[in-house]
Amino acid sequence: MTATHPEPLLAINNLEVSFRTEEGTVTPVRGVTLSVNAGETLALVGESGSGKSVTSLAVMGLLPRPAGRISGGSILFRRRAGGAIDLAQASASEVRRLRGAEIAMIFQEPMTSLNPVLTVGEQIAESVRLHRGLGQGDAMRRAREMLDLVEIPDAGRRVHDYPHQMSGGMRQRVMIALAMACDPALLIADEPTTALDVTIQAQILALIERLRREMGMGVLFITHNLGVVAEVADRVAVMYAGEVVESAPVRPLFHAPRHPYTRALLDCLPARAARGADGRRVVRSIPGTVSRVAEGCGFAPRCEFVRDSCRVGAIPLESEPDRVVRCLRWREIA
C-alpha cells in the first residue's frame, strides 16, 4: 500500500440498492460498507447473486433505470480538487462528469465499451479531447502514447486499427488505455480478465498493477476468481447474497478466514482438495445454492455452523483491528 491519506478515496457506507420487479421490490445489495484508499487495490469477491457487480454499477451511476436505484446509504468519493461528493445523492450529470475524468472503468468484454466504427486511436483521442481539451493533433499523439503505455507493440501502426482487427487481449489493453487517458484517481475493474486465456490474463493483471503503482490509483477490482484476488489485492471484501460478510487484508483473509462462507469458499478450490480414506482427492463443496432469506444471515441455509439465532433479525458487522465479520459465531468457531 502506497500513498496513504487520512481519508479514503472511496467510502461506501451502508449502501442499499433496490430494483422494482414484477414480483415487487428486491434489494440485491444491503448494508454494504467498504472503502478504497488511494494507491491500493480492494478486491470485491463473490459468486453469482452476491451483489458485487450491482455495487460497482451503483458507484458508477450506471444502475439500469428506472428499475434500479440507490435506496439507502452513501458513496463518498474524494474529489481531486478537494472535498468529497456523495455519489448516491449526486445528479446524473455530476456523476457523468466524474466518470471518465476521475473515475474510470474497465469491463469483462471490451467490445461492449469500444465503438466498432472508430479506430482505437480515434476513440482514445476523442476521450482526451473531451476531458483535457487537447487539439486534434495533440490528441492523436496522446493516443499513441497511451497505446505505448499499455504495451501494445507497434503502437504507431495499431492506432489506426479498428477493434475487430485486434485480439481479445489487445482489445482489453485498448480499453485500459481509454480508461487511463484522463489519469483517473479510481479505477473500477469489473472482471477485466475473465474472458481471457491465462497467459494473456497474467499480462493484463501485471499491466493493471504497474499502472496502479505508477499512477497511484485506487483500484476496486471485482472478480469471482480467488486466484486473481490473491494475485492483485491489498485488501479483500467478500460478498454473499447482497452483503459484505467479511473484509480483511489479503493475507489474513486467505490464511485465517473467519466467516463460515469465506472458509467454505476457499475449501471449494480444486487445489485445496484433500485425499480421502480411499485415496481419492475430494473437494469440499457448499450444499445448495444462493437463496434470498427474509431475515437473519443470508448464508444460514447453507452454513454448517448455523443455529436458530442466525435466522432472526439483522446480523451485525463486527469490527476487529483490520477485519470486519458479519457472523454471530465467528469467535467460537475460529
Partner 1 sequence: MSGALLEVRGLTKHFGGGAHPVRAVEDVSFAIQPGEVLGLVGESGSGKSTIGRLILRLLDPTAGSVRFGGDEIATAPERKLKALRRRAQMVFQDPFASLNPRLRVRDIIGEALDAHGLARGRRTERIGELMETVGLPAAHMTRYPHEFSGGQRQRIGIARALAVEPELIVADEPVSALDVSVQAQVLNLMQDLRARFGLAMLFISHDLDVVELMCDRIAVLYLGRVMEIGPAEIVTARPRHPYTQALLAASPKADPDAPKLSRTLKGDIPSPMAPPSGCVFRTRCPYAMPACAEVVPPLRDAGDGRAYACILDSLPSRPEVA
Residues that bind partner 1 (CB under 8 A): 47-48, 153, 167-170, 197-203, 205-206, 224-231, 233, 250-251, 254-255, 264-266, 268-273, 280-287, 289
CB of 253 to partner 1, least distance (A): 8
Phi/psi for 95 (5° steps) reads -65, -40
| For partner 1, the closer CB: 75 or 204 | 204
CB of 137 to partner 1, least distance (A): 31
Task: Compute CA distances 269 → 41, 63, 133, 193, 266, whole Å.
Answer: 23, 32, 49, 19, 6
| For partner 1, the closer CB: 282 or 314 | 282
Which of the 8 DSSP states describes residue 7? S
| Residues 6+ away with beta carbon under 8 Å from 215 | 180, 183
At residue 43, the 3 state secondary structure works out as strand
Strands (E), 79-183: 84-86, 103-106
**CA-wise closest residue to 38 among 99, 92, 103:** 103
| For partner 1, the closer CB: 28 or 73 | 28
**What is the rounded CA–CA span in Å between residue 136 and residue 126?**
9
Identity of the residue numbered 59:
V
CB of 292 to partner 1, least distance (A): 13
CB of 33 to partner 1, least distance (A): 23
Q: Which three cell numbers stand for residue 251?
A: 493475507
| For partner 1, the closer CB: 13 or 203 | 203
Burial profile 235-266: b = 16 or more Cβ within 10 angstroms, e = fewer: bbbbbbbbbbbbbbebeebbeebbbbbbbbbb
DSSP string for 119-144: -HHHHHHHHHHHHH---HHHHHHHHH
| For partner 1, the closer CB: 137 or 270 | 270
Pair type for strands 103-106 and 274-275: unpaired
**CA-wise closest residue to 107 among 32, 56, 47:** 56
**CA-wise closest residue to 236 among 228, 246, 227, 28:** 246
How many Å is the Cα radius of gyration of the chain? 21
| For partner 1, the closer CB: 99 or 212 | 212
| For partner 1, the closer CB: 35 or 201 | 201
CB of 86 to partner 1, least distance (A): 33
CB of 240 to partner 1, least distance (A): 10
CB of 318 to partner 1, least distance (A): 23
CB of 299 to partner 1, least distance (A): 11
CB of 302 to partner 1, least distance (A): 8
| For partner 1, the closer CB: 81 or 198 | 198
Task: Compute CA distances 118 → 21, 49, 126, 129, 201, whole Å.
Answer: 37, 35, 10, 15, 26
| For partner 1, the closer CB: 202 or 333 | 202
